Structure 1
Amino acid sequence: MHPMVNIAVRAARAAGNVIVRNIDRLDRVRVESKGRYDFVTDIDRQAESVILDVLHRAYPRHAILAEESGAAYNGGGEAEYTWIVDPLDGTANFLHGFPQVGVSIALQHQGQLTAAVVYDPLRQELFTAARGSGAQLDGRRIRVTPRRGLEGALIGTGFPFKNQQLMPRYLQMFATVAERAEDMRRAGAASLDLAYVAAGRLDGFFELGLKPWDIAAGALLIQEAGGTVSGLQGDDDYLQSGDIVAGGLKVHAGLQRAIGGL
């Protein structure tokens, strides 16, 4: 395994241990509101702290962009490498005891995604990828599905509940895709949804208004599993816009045709 992926795995497992230790202690978890339907817990912060500690000890000159602490380290200036970290993807799920949460860690080298880890601490499933080396689930190679379009496809998505202004447009997209695909899934942790696309559990995925830490690792997993990731118009600015379409080549094209102009 690539040495930087190894470090990310170590960090993700450490964060996962924090999450697992507290999943049955929800009555003791401290919760703060960051905005409408946007919460942070002391477990998010503890998980992020252990990730940042592992990454900073291994690579003190690397920059880190993390959900709860923002630019936690700047690498001493214009860093060549930037880690993009979501310590607990699916905080609302965690607070309700809904067993779909993930730890997401990605690495950018000069703006290009080069390493990715998505870890499901409750199922202990580890998704990893390094640019040019493929994607794996628990050490086994994974591939996106070869489905030839939206017909018969199982599509993952997420409602933009944190930004209600996006909801009318999103609901139009949802209805359009639902008319064409076999079925839809909304589980509440985008990093795992994208990992599931890479592993062939979902045929495709789309969502609006996400953050870089929600999608960076999952995007590389899909690309290394033979899939395609883009913005709604087929561009590559999804990390900046937060609007993402992903899947195997033909499913991605079908999603883009269906919702790209909405």
Structure 2
Amino acid sequence: MTPGELLSLAAKSCVDAAGLLRSTPLDVAPKGTFDQVSNVDLAVEEFLRAALTAGAPGSAVVGEELGASTARVTWYVDPIDGTRNFVRGLPLSCLSVAAAVEGELVAGCVLDPFRDELFTGAVDVPFEVRSTGLTITPGTSPRPLVLTDIPLPGSPYRGELELLASLLSVADVRRVYSTALSLAWVAAGRADAAANLGVHPWDVAAGAVLVRSAGGSFTEIGVDGFVAGRGEIVGWLRERLEGIVS
């Protein structure tokens, strides 16, 4: 399958899976000290696994909730990125699916079910936003806008609070607690950069594709961090995050 075909399958699967958010009564359980999982997470991931592997026979899935395996075509699935927001009714979460071929990310989509916005992009497929809600062409500001959840509770890194204080002196900052949604917004030009530590492959795979397909950069930092976006603030963030993880 081409990157475009993989993208079409990912996007259709996300749109179909979003129906489960409305039809599944919510039940929540703890997952570790600082995290949660809901039955909706599990139902959506189960649906996405079935739809993606049926549409691309022989493919495999790396998912947040139900385990990981790899193949020539591997899907990265986050059924609800921003579960802690979702279970509180905060409209800051999304479904996220990316496709990798031979280890290279080639297609990604992020679906915001609250705003009915679908962000898509792939190798040789331009970034696109499909929205049925209010959309505003992003304007400019003398200060860059950065999306970050640093510092996260339980982080093993030192210096994160100092980084946040320094960042506030040079940029406007928003804490979204949905990495995939943050990256989609960077791709759409609503923010200049996003940066986080403590992330997993399913958190960033789709967003990395979106940012790159929109002409921005996505750089991994250490084993669980990244910086993505456009402009001088990206280099500023990369230098400081590299200092923290080292």
**2:98/2:105 contact within 8 Å kept:** yes
Match of 1:85 in 2: 77
**Cα distance, 1:220–1:146 mapped onto 2, change above 3 Å:** farther
Q: Which runs of 5+ in 1 are unaligned?
A: 23-27, 140-144, 233-237
In structure 1, what is the equivalent of residue 52 of structure 2?
55
Q: Distance in 1 between matches of 2:199 and 2:159?
A: 15
Q: Does 1:36 align with 2:33?
A: yes
Mark the CA change 1:242 to 1:92 in structure 2 (over 3 Å): closer, same or farther.
same
Q: 1:172 aligns with which of 154, 158, 162?
A: 162
Q: CA deviation at 1:129?
A: 0.6
Is the contact made by 2:112 and 2:118 (CA closer than 8 Å) also made in structure 1?
yes
Amino acid at match of 2:230: G
Q: Secondary structure at the match of 1:226?
A: coil
Q: 1-side partners of 2:7 and 2:104: how far apart?
A: 15
Q: Which residue does 1:133 correspond to in 2?
A: 125
Q: Give 1:151 deviation, angstroms.
A: 5.8
Q: Following the alignment from structure 2 to structure 1, what is the Cα–Cα distance between the partners of residues 225 and 241?
A: 11
* 2:150–2:164 CA contact under 8 A, matched in 1: no
Matched, 1:243 2:225: yes
Match of 1:152 in 2: 143
2-structure distance, mates of 1:257, 1:66: 30
Q: 1:102 aligns with which of 74, 77, 94?
A: 94
SS at 1:187 equivalent: coil
- CA–CA distance in 1 between the matches of 2:220 and 2:51? 32
User: Is the Cα–Cα contact under 8 Å of residues 108 and 115 in structure 1 kept in the other structure?
Assistant: yes
Deviation at residue 160 of structure 1 after TM alignment: 4.9
Aligned residues: 236
The one-letter code sitting in structure 2 at the alignment partner of 1:202 is A
For 1:217 and 1:53, the matched residues in 2 are separated by 19
Tell me what 2:12 maps to: 10
The aligned residue for residue 197 of structure 1 is 186
Listed one character per residue, the Cα deviations across residues 175-219 of structure 1 (whole Å, up to 9, x for unaligned) are 1211111x1001111100000000000110111010111101001
Identity of paired residues, percent? 33
Aligned to 1:260: 242
Aligned partner of 1:188: which letter? Y
Query: Given residue 109 of structure 2, which amino acid in structure 1 is its aligned partner?
Result: V
Q: Matches of 1:111 and 1:162 in 2, distance apart?
A: 31
Q: CA deviation at 1:123?
A: 0.7
Q: Which amino acid aligns with 2:33?
A: R
Higher mean Cα deviation, 168-177 or 102-111? 168-177
SS in 2 for 1:108: strand
TM normalised by structure 2 equals 0.88
Partner letter of residue 7 of structure 2? V
2:22 & 2:26 partners in 1: Cα distance? 13
Q: In the superposition, relative to structure 1, how do residues 206 and 97 fare at CA in structure 2: closer, same or farther (>3 Å)?
A: same
**How many angstroms does 1:258 deviate by?**
4.3
Residues 162, 105 of structure 1: CA spacing in aligned structure 2 closer, same or farther, 3 A cutoff?
Answer: farther
Q: Classify 1:20/1:34 alpha carbon distance in 2 versus 1 (closer, same or farther; 3 Å).
A: same
- Partner residue, 1:25: none
Aligned in 2, Cα 1:94/1:228: closer, same or farther, shift over 3 Å?
same
Q: C-alpha separation between the residues in 2 aligned to 1:53 and 1:11?
A: 9
